[in-house]
């Protein structure tokens, strides 16, 4: 193995700036990911950058159903809850695609099952907003 290898790049350790619960979708230092454990401000914590997740605090426009495979967006901000997701019909200015709905989201459900794009695809996903 090359001596320059650091890690596989699927998780990032960072110093928490806000409190998040395990499983919250968050935005940290340019990456969208899911909080591994409950965070405490000022302590090191882990950010998981890929995978399929049941994300809470789902869609801002709650009275909609979203088919599997549809792209979802989130606005990059540091908040103490899971980031709100947005479907293609209500994307706020400055939001970026973070993944695709893994299984159909029924209107009013508590969680949305989302496959995150992962760190190597987040820039590409942010530039290809039309599909």
Is the residue at 109 inside a domain? yes
Residue 42 is predicted with a pLDDT of 93
Is the residue at 90 inside a domain? yes
For 52, list phi and psi in degrees, rounded to 5.
-110, 125
Is the residue at 35 inside a domain? yes
Question: Between 103 and 122, whose confidence is greater?
Answer: 103
Element (H, E) at 123: helix 122-127
Is the residue at 5 inside a domain? no
Residue 81 is predicted with a pLDDT of 87
Report which of 76, 26, 10, 23 is spatially closest to residue 53, judged by C-alpha positions. Answer: 23
Number of domains in the chain: 1
Is the residue at 85 inside a domain? yes
The contacts of residue 131 (CB under 8 Å, 6+ apart) are 71
pLDDT tens digit sequence for 32-66: 999 999 999 999 999 999 889 998 867 765 567 88
Is the residue at 30 inside a domain? yes
Give the integer Cα–Cα distance in Å for 28 and 9: 15
Residue 61 is predicted with a pLDDT of 59
64: alpha, beta or left, given left = phi > 0 and alpha = psi -120 to 50?
A: beta
pLDDT tens digit sequence for 68-118: 999 999 988 888 888 888 888 888 888 888 999 999 888 888 888 999 997
Entry pTM: 0.80
Give the structural domain span for 102: 11-127
Is the residue at 3 inside a domain? no
The contacts of residue 67 (CB under 8 Å, 6+ apart) are 101, 104
Is the residue at 1 inside a domain? no
For 77, list phi and psi in degrees, rounded to 5.
-155, 155
């Amino acid at each position: 193995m090359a001596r320059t290898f650091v890690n596989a790049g699927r998780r990032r350790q960072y110093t928490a700036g806000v409190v998040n619960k395990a499983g919250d979708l968050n935005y940290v230092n340019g990456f969208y990911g899911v909080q591994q454990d409950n965070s405490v401000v000022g302590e090191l914590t882990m950010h998981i950058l890929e995978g399929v997740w049941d994300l809470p605090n789902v869609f801002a426009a709650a009275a909609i159903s979203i088919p599997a495979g549809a792209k979802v967006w989130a606005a990059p901000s540091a908040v103490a809850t899971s980031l709100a997701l947005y479907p293609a019909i209500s994307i706020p200015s400055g939001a970026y695609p973070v993944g695709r709905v893994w299984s159909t989201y029924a209107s009013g459900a508590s969680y949305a099952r989302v496959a995150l794009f992962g760190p190597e695809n987040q820039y590409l996903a942010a530039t290809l907003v039309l599909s």
